Amino acid sequence: MKKYIHVVFCLSYFLTINSCIAQETSNKNEYTFRKDDPNGIGKWYMEREIARVMGFQGIEWLDRPEREQEESTSKLLKNMNIGNNDIVADIGAGSGYHVFKMAEISTSGLIYAVDIQDEMLAELRQNREKRNAKNVKIVKGSELGVNLPKNTIDKVLMVDVYHEFNFPKEMILSIKEALRKNGKIYLIEYRGEDVSVPIKKIHKMSEKQAIEEMKASGMRLERNIDNLPWQHCMVFVKE
């Protein structure tokens, strides 16, 4: 009997070890590494090089006066059809350009402002205090997750930030967990198909590339609202 138990234990142990090794190998295979674009980090996901993160030094660019004219940010918020009670998360919120506009719409809801840079978080806190935006909650995320409660978010906004995620698949899986059953991701990216958009290539994404990457994390394109001057407004839902 003891011999039988020992054999079963050993078999279980080796199956567990092999499973862990296979999982680790699979995770490693998600990403490849090679140098190409000087504005990239040399890490690739599904044949796309990940762009360098725009640092907190770019706050002035985020808050530039001409942004509404260039990006039709008010139209973007209309596209999201935010309700008075919606719980919305802005991932890569920066200084809160979109956050505080959404807070004025969802007055009885909650807006999560998620960022990983301490300097951006400090700016968000200052802006929240200036505006007395009590329905804004500031969250420090990580490279691997958004640190949001599960099954609570109605809508997620990501504006020109996804292409900079160091771990894009892990981030989308984390966001997917935070979304309610019928929750939506609004993925805003400069159009990679359009050479006239005056943004560096590595900071753009094509609709095709976005669909492939989001599908790998269990999200499907519901529609691409094609009414912004330079950007895709792609709406993704759980498959």
Task: Please give the DSSP secondary-structure letter assigned to residue 197.
Answer: S
Over the range 173-195, which residues count as b (16 or more CB within 10 Å of their CB) and which as e?
bbbbebbeeebbbbbbbbbbeee
Res. 61 pLDDT band, cuts 50 70 90: confident
Which residue did the predictor score with more confidence, 234 or 54? 234
Tell me how far apart the alpha carbons of residues 18 and 102 are, in angstroms, rounded to a whole number: 48
pLDDT, the chain, mean: 90
Could you report the per-residue pLDDT of 93-126, keeping only the tens digit for each?
999 999 999 999 999 999 999 999 999 999 999 9
Tokens representing residue 11 in the block: 């078999």
Tell me how far apart the alpha carbons of residues 129 and 100 are, in angstroms, rounded to a whole number: 11
Q: 165 burial class (0-12, 13-18, 19+ CB within 10 angstroms)?
A: buried
Tell me which residue has tokens 């698949």.
Answer: 169
pLDDT at 2 over 60: no
pLDDT for 57 = 85
pLDDT at 226 over 90: yes
Percent of the chain with pLDDT over 90: 85
Could you report the per-residue pLDDT of 149-188, keeping only the tens digit for each?
999 999 999 999 999 999 999 999 999 999 999 999 999 9
Q: What is the pTM of this model?
A: 0.88
